[in-house]
Amino acid sequence: MINTTNEPPLSTGLGDRLPELLAIYEDLHANPELSFQEVRTAAVISDHLKKNGWQVTDEVGGTGVVGVLSNGPGPVVLLRADMDALPVQEETGLPYASTATATDAEGNTVPVMHACGHDMHMTCLLGAAAQLSARHDEWSGTVVAVFQPAEEVGGAQGMIEDGFLDRFPRADICLAQHVQPAPVGLLGTRPGPIMLASDSLRVQLFGRGGHGATPELTVDPVVLAAAVVLRLQTVVSREIGTAQTAVVTVGALRAGLKENIIPDSAELLINIRTATQNVREKVLAAVERIIRAECLASAAPRDPEITHLYAFPATINDAEATVAVHNSLARAFGINHVLTMPSVLSGSEDFSIFGTALGAPSVFWLFGGTDPSEFAATDLAALLENGLPENVPVNHSPLYAPVPEPTIEIGTKALLSAAAYWLCP
Ligand code: ZN
Ligand code: ZN
């Protein structure tokens, strides 16, 4: 099925390692941990890296782990995997499905699942790390393996603030990958923007509470919140041109406890996705303007409180380095298995924080992890034109889990092939 034209660089002997990697993957999948709680996960990573001769630093930016393998003169290549799972109740029915629960940042007990595939990213990077030490006579340079905590809430910034730039060799190139609900064996990337910027806001709206029978004596924050939600729909439809990309979603609206009591406040959680800094600033300003104007329109007794929860920059691939990675992947997997993606994905990533902080180019690519039989159209052109079939589980779904074989092998070879462009003379 995989049209491997010839053995990709640094991959000799990987086949013998796959049973161990499969066991690591199933263990990580069965034992997921929420963002910034990846303590067990970090220990598994740390042990595996040390066993393979890597110099390991734990607790970088919280629960992050950084491995360094210095192997003579040459470029410094940063390979990054993310570590965290999500508060999702797993429904895959797999023998190694998670039954874990945890206490989230708000103190609630929640189910936990590797619903975004970060367990796959860690497994592939551990596989690549083991290969790099075993095949050290085939390359020259330094590799920095970054296991980053809390990708879902922007944990990369915490590693930078924990002295990442000064504590580890400065990378000349940053590489990372994400598993996708695409047929396994298919990979894709694109120069320039590949994923959108994401901003998350919490908005507290203030009214004046009272009896449900005498609304004239109150300022009803439920009506105010409803007006804000509806008016926010005009930001993208009325203020952003059709050539631009933006999404505004109100993911939570909370107010009140009982039908005959008008509460005194309401809370909104808002997510904003944009492709350029210009549009990002425009949308953020419009959202704030509308919230404040609706509070005025309702005669709210207090100004709203708008808190910026997370900000993920857009993920921008360096044009030249992306060509190098694309060609390396095409050599490893066959030219028909590596796509140039036609458009930017609406998901977001904090990976580009590393490249920006280091002043180094970065390249991010996607690799399929779903059984090809789930796709009616095996024809790539049809898949690109029609998008994913509705029945295929996507990242963050309780049903999402990549098929371990051959996804682990492909993801590991992809990291090695891309890194080899810089490491193998
Ligand atoms: Zn995710
Ligand atoms: Zn993810």
Q: Over the stretch 45-80, which tens digit does the pLDDT of each residue have?
A: 999 999 999 999 999 999 999 999 999 999 999 999
The amino acid that residue 415 corresponds to is L
Tokens standing for residue 12: 């000799």
DSSP assignment string, 277-343? HHHHHHHHHHHHHHHHHHHHHTT-SS--EEEEEEEE--EEE-HHHHHHHHHHHHHHH-GGGEEE-SS
Q: How confident is the model at residue 2 (pLDDT cuts 50, 70, 90)?
A: very low
- Please list the alpha-helical segments (H only) found in 115-220: 118-134, 156-161, 164-167
* Ligand 2 geometric centre to CA of 54 (Å): 25
Max Cα–Cα distance, the chain, nearest Å: 81
b/e per residue, 77-106, with b = 16+ CB within 10 A? bbbbbbbbbbbbebebeeebbbebeeeeee
**Residue 176, Cβ neighbours under 10 Å: how many?**
26
Statement: residue 385 has pLDDT above 70: no
* Ligand 1 geometric centre to CA of 178 (Å): 9
Q: How confident is the model at residue 4 (pLDDT cuts 50, 70, 90)?
A: very low
* Ligand 1 geometric centre to CA of 202 (Å): 20
Q: How confident is the model at residue 3 (pLDDT cuts 50, 70, 90)?
A: very low
DSSP class of 99:
-
Give the pLDDT score at 425: 76
Residue with tokens 């042990």: 47
- Cα separation of 219 and 209, whole Å? 7
Statement: residue 387 has pLDDT above 80: no
Give the pLDDT score at 6: 67
pLDDT tens profile 331-352: 999 999 999 998 888 889 999 9
Give the pLDDT score at 140: 98
Distance of alpha carbon 416 from the chain centroid: 21
* Ligand 1 geometric centre to CA of 395 (Å): 6
Statement: residue 279 has pLDDT above 70: yes
pTM to 2 decimals? 0.87
Q: What is the mean pLDDT of the chain?
A: 95
Cross-strand bridge partners of residue 284: none
Q: Which ligand is nearest to the CA of 176?
A: 2
* Ligand 2 geometric centre to CA of 117 (Å): 6
